[in-house]
Chain A
Amino acid sequence: MADPSPPLLLVKNVVKEYGDVARTRALGGVDLTVGRGELVALVGPSGSGKSTLLNIIGLLDRPTSGSVALGSTETTALDDRGLTDVRARMLGFIFQFHHLLPAFTALENVMIPAWGHDGWPSAKMRTDAADILREVGLGDRIDYRSTNLSGGQQQRVAIARALLRRPPLVLADEPTGNLDTASSAEVLDLMRRFNRDLGTTFIIVTHDLRIAESCDRIIELVDGVVTSDRRR
């Protein structure tokens, strides 16, 4: 009997072109289906369209043609407000350079996805943020400004921020690209742990083969086209 629930992510024939006159094709018709609880590595050489695809999946950019559905929500026709709501509800982001707000403490940075979207802080927001900071091993750094944390610690705050609202899908763009080996291992372990314990789906763009090999599924993109999609 077929599974009646839709996949977490359904990308259909997504094309992305840049430029008005001389058009450059970054994605040339990508089809992708990702289920709940998957740990996916997106690999490929520089300029292959990995970040473009990640931005489109993350609803930060719109495809030239094709469609993206997150769960039962078809996003192509949504306006800015709709996209913002879906991002807040369903997506978490981890960036290569963590991008924490320097004016905020670790706790305030983690609260941003809920606080920024809802407007007012709540006791639950604070408790959830403190809990998740403890889960990533930063319980004693809650009130530290992000500028007073190490690179690995900042990336762990970024992971906590991405997971505060327990989104079903987290998109990580080179999350270890700026870290030393030990910090990279810590970050990877955290993502694997949240994937296992919470069932959160991760799509990780990476050049690091060790990270890719530790994922359940590896999708390779070359010149904007999926050239291989293998499960381990």
Chain B
Amino acid sequence: MPFEWFLALRYLRDAKGQTALILGGVAIGVSVIVFLSALIGGLQASLIEKTLGAQPHITLHVPREAPRPLVEPTAKVAIARQIEETSQRLRSIDQWPTVMAAVERIPGVIATSPSINGAGFAVRSGAKRPIVIRGVDRERVLAIIDLRKRMVAGHFELDGGTVAIGAKLAADLGATVGDKLRISSSEGVEDVVTIGGIFRLGNEGVDGSWLVTSLRHAQSLYGLAGGVTTIELKVADVFAAERIAGEVQSRTGIPADSWMKINAELLAGLSAQSSSKLMIQFFVILAVALGIASVLIVSVVQKSREIGILRAVGTPRGRILRVFLIQGGLLGIGGSVVGCAFGALLAKLFESLARDPGGAPKFPVQIDASLLLFASALATGVGLLAATIPARRAAALDPATAIRNG
């Protein structure tokens, strides 16, 4: 075994109590990082999944209609006028197949789906509820929001006047699969549809208002033959949605809103959570670093005469430096292995104990190899870094002074 490894291991072994204490300290620090990261990561993933499970990553919609003044002022004529906002009609995106084809070529966009979104009412027996009628291309919309997985009753079929509705809307109307509903669009067109499936997306607003039908059916309800009011996109990296939305808008000239813009408050909350996590990680790691550094500094002081002897009999400075760096690294690795195992165990235990009445975890945790590798690499790196000061101090010891004064 190389001399520096042998000596480092002997030093750690001979100071058993000290080594055990600092290993325990590092392990606790790492377990706090793993536990918190798993918990916060799980919560964030769950929130994002719930949010994006019910909406596209990017939505292209028809530009708002701007009022057109009847008379414009000139250099000679000043005009006093009051311009009122134009009421927004339901209109189709111009040349939407061309727009959609252009958008599909943008890097990062992995799915597109044309749709019509309009307001309306659903009536059954004495119950009447305001609804959002969503006309979609069945195959394309599944690539954006996989409604098949969210069906709680029936199937996601949109043929021949069959529709799918949200679970809360179904409950409010007292309807179930196979029942008929009378619906009317905001354009005044009425129809009778059959409920083919009931879905639950986990978003009360959506589950209480959505009625999903075929694109062709929606086009007839809103008098938009061949038209669509929105084009919905899915992107590979959800956090690149805002950037891609900007690119889509600049290429097509059609307003594009990302989920990040629509859910700005959620993002701010997630960002605050991430900041808190980083702060906690920073202080935990600082404590770990100080612990390792202080133990090794004490070790250097205790061993300074031995270091002087080693230097006197021909041990190079670099080898002495490495003896203490190895100790720091080993404390980091040892502590992180124990800490990762303990932190993961704690997180899983927490997840299994706190469950809602349906049996789903209240606090889903997210533990993956990258988190454990990150925590281990962080603790080991910090161990090495923390050992730098005592190691340099040891290597710089003057052998004559160290032997004389110990």
Contact = CB atoms under 8 A, between A and B. Distances in A.
Nearest to A113: B313
Contact of A116 (B13, B313, B400): B313
Given A84-B311, A87-B314, A112-B313, A119 B2 contact: yes
A88 B3 contact: no
Given A81-B316, A119-B3, A121-B1, A112 B400 contact: no
Given A104-B10, A116-B3, A61 B315 contact: no
A193 interface: no
A80 B312 CA distance: 11
Interface stretch (B214-222, B302-310, B361-369): B302-310
Interface magnitude class on chain B? 20 to 34
Contacts of A85: 314
A46 to B, nearest CB: 14
A58 interface: yes
A115 interface: yes
A25 to B, nearest CB: 18
B309 A101 contact: yes
Interface residues of A, number: 30
Contacts of A88: 313-314
Contacts of B342: none
A134 interface: no
A196 interface: no
A116 B314 contact: yes
Given A55-B400, A60-B399, A121-B1, A87 B14 contact: no
Interface of A: 51, 55, 58, 60-61, 80-81, 84-85, 87-89, 92-93, 95, 99, 101-104, 112-113, 115-121, 161
6 nearest A-B residue pairs (beta carbon): A88-B314, A116-B315, A60-B400, A117-B314, A103-B10, A113-B313
30 contacts: A55-B400, A61-B398, A81-B317, A84-B316, A85-B314, A87-B314, A88-B313, A92-B313, A93-B312, A95-B403, A99-B309, A101-B306, A101-B309, A101-B310, A102-B14, A103-B11, A103-B13, A104-B10, A112-B310, A112-B313, A112-B315, A113-B314, A116-B315, A117-B314, A117-B315, A117-B316, A119-B2, A119-B4, A120-B2, A121-B3
Interface of B: 1-4, 7, 10-11, 13-14, 305-306, 309-317, 319, 398-400, 403-404
